[in-house]
């Protein structure tokens, strides 16, 4: 076997986000093929063979790549609409437009979403896609293709909805699938796209949308399907007071008890939002190892509330960060969520001790890898893990006067990405994507957004 080609990064500050939060004021990272081979203080060891590239990271902070744990790529085409609504009103306003998406639109939207995240240091993304209009083409295939094109690692959460208005649900009846249809299509997506091996570029999760848009049967049978196939489970949970009221009215219990009754607590489950959780809900998540995708900007945009992240972390709940769909977080970036997670949680009862900068960075890296079930592969800079990492430039006007690099990254303005690597392959150079034409992506997202608006208006 040919020796792995090595890339040596030297002279940068390094935040490994390992179990001890090891940092180096000036250190090195050696990548060999798709893996991290060495991390440490000072220069890289001398005498390394097969070094194809040396990167001088002076003025930079090197971190693990950011991991996004909740998103809806298709929403890239419906940003900036229904801007003054709460979740339920916002959904009702947008469902009729969303129900007109097709494969071309979803591909453009996925490229836009992935490109925006990758430019901001995301190396592992997820897409929770739950709208599959009849005759709309191969939407899952379009999403996977877009991830391959940009070079970002992907978890595709194959969503579904089968509780339309006639069954007491929120989505219009024309936007939902049947129970049998949703389960069969989800399993087909696992067959076609899920890779269970170490270092997989594409994984699939089973992801019925939410308690107010899916039947109890779809939740229960979806959980059985996921466990039979050995894939993870994802959904939205405890997002708003309206959802809590809905669960009490329809099921006679709160969302967490309802999830427990349908098999939806466990270390193979992660849930978006989890804003309205009482102490016993948090204890149930901790006891079962159920993970949380914390989406602070989206929760603020939709006036959902403040998730109790400090209490979750204290209880031992795995927590990652999420952009959420860009119809409720128009920026579409994850690095700003590091900052927002810290700031918004300090508005809660724990005040200044809620989260610090290093905890925020951990949520966006190792925490994300944990909730995606990939902490043994991703989320920290340690020998043997996958070479997914980012060089953040901190020596320009925006950050140069901040002494501590992690503080600069989390509390400062969004830092420029000089280089980003996924699986040892560079995907971003000086803030520009290397494998797709960013300007062409911008044009096609604009065209497809206009096309969708026209079709939705009946034109
Ligand atoms: Zn969401």
Q: pLDDT tens digit string along 24-74?
A: 999 999 999 999 999 999 999 999 999 999 999 999 999 999 999 999 999
Determine the pLDDT at residue 395: 98
Rounded to the nearest angstrom, the distance between the alpha carbon of 270 and the centre of ligand 1 is: 12
Whether the pLDDT of residue 359 is over 90: the answer is yes
CA distance 115 to 139: 18
Rounded to the nearest angstrom, the distance between the alpha carbon of 149 and the centre of ligand 1 is: 24
Whether the pLDDT of residue 311 is over 60: the answer is yes
Rounded to the nearest angstrom, the distance between the alpha carbon of 71 and the centre of ligand 1 is: 6
Q: pLDDT tens digit string along 101-112?
A: 999 999 999 999
Rounded to the nearest angstrom, the distance between the alpha carbon of 76 and the centre of ligand 1 is: 13
Beta bridge partners of 157: 128, 205
Whether the pLDDT of residue 2 is over 90: the answer is no
Rounded to the nearest angstrom, the distance between the alpha carbon of 329 and the centre of ligand 1 is: 10
Q: Which residues contact 157 (CB under 8 A, 6 or more apart)?
A: 126, 127, 128, 129, 204, 205, 206, 207, 234
Q: Between these two residues, 233 and 173, which has the higher pLDDT value?
A: 233
pLDDT, average across residues 174-179: 93
The DSSP result for 237-305, as a single string, is ES--HHHHHHHHHHHSS-HHHHHHHTT--STTEEEEE--S--HHHHHHHHHHT-EEEE-HHHHHHTT--
Q: To the nearest whole number, what is the mean pLDDT of the chain? A: 97
* Three-class SS state of 205: strand
Whether the pLDDT of residue 364 is over 70: the answer is yes
Rounded to the nearest angstrom, the distance between the alpha carbon of 312 and the centre of ligand 1 is: 19
CA distance 192 to 328: 30
CA distance 457 to 21: 52
Rounded to the nearest angstrom, the distance between the alpha carbon of 273 and the centre of ligand 1 is: 8
Determine the pLDDT at residue 174: 87
Beta bridge partners of 23: 15
Rounded to the nearest angstrom, the distance between the alpha carbon of 377 and the centre of ligand 1 is: 25
């Amino acid at each position: 076997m040919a020796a792995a080609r090595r890339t040596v990064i030297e002279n940068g500050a390094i935040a490994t986000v390992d179990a001890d939060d090891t940092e180096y004021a000036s250190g090195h990272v050696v990548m060999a093929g798709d893996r991290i081979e060495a991390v440490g203080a000072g220069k890289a060891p001398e005498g390394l063979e097969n070094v194809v590239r040396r990167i001088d990271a002076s003025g930079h902070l090197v971190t693990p790549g950011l991991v996004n744990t909740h998103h809806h790529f298709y929403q890239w085409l419906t940003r900036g609409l229904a801007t003054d609504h709460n979740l339920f009103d916002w959904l009702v306003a947008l469902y009729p437009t969303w129900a007109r998406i097709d494969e071309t639109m979803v591909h453009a939207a996925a490229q836009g979403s992935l490109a925006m995240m990758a430019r901001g240091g995301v190396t592992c993304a997820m897409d929770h896609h739950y709208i599959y209009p009849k005759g709309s083409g191969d939407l899952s295939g379009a999403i996977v293709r877009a991830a391959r094109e940009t070079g970002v690692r992907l978890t595709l959460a194959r969503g579904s909805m089968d509780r339309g208005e006639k069954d007491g649900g929120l989505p219009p009846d024309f936007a939902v699938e049947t129970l049998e249809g949703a389960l069969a299509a989800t399993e087909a997506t696992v067959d076609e796209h899920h890779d269970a091996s170490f270092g997989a570029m594409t994984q699939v999760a089973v992801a019925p949308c939410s308690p107010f848009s899916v039947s109890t049967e779809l939740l229960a049978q979806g959980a059985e399907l996921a466990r039979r196939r050995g894939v993870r489970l994802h959904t939205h949970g405890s997002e708003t007071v309206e959802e809590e009221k809905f669960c009490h009215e329809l099921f006679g219990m709160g969302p967490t008890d309802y999830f427990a009754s349908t098999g939806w607590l466990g270390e193979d489950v992660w849930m978006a939002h989890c804003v309205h959780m009482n102490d016993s809900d948090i204890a149930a998540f901790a006891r079962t190892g159920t993970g949380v995708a914390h989406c602070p900007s989206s929760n603020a945009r939709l006036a959902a509330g403040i998730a109790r992240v400090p209490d979750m972390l204290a209880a031992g709940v795995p927590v990652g960060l999420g952009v959420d769909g860009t119809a409720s977080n128009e920026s579409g970036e994850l690095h700003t969520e590091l900052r927002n997670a810290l700031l918004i949680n300090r508005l809660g009862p724990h005040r200044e001790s809620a989260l610090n900068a290093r905890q925020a960075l951990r949520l966006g890296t190792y925490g994300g890898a944990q909730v995606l079930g990939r902490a043994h592969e991703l989320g920290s800079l340690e020998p043997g893990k996958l070479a997914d990492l980012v060089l953040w430039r901190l020596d320009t006007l925006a950050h140069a006067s901040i002494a501590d690099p992690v503080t600069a990254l989390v509390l400062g303005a969004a830092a420029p990405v000089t280089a980003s690597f996924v699986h040892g392959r560079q995907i971003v150079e000086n803030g520009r994507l290397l494998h797709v034409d960013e300007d062409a992506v911008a044009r096609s997202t604009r065209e497809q957004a206009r096309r969708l608006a026209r079709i939705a208006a009946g034109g």
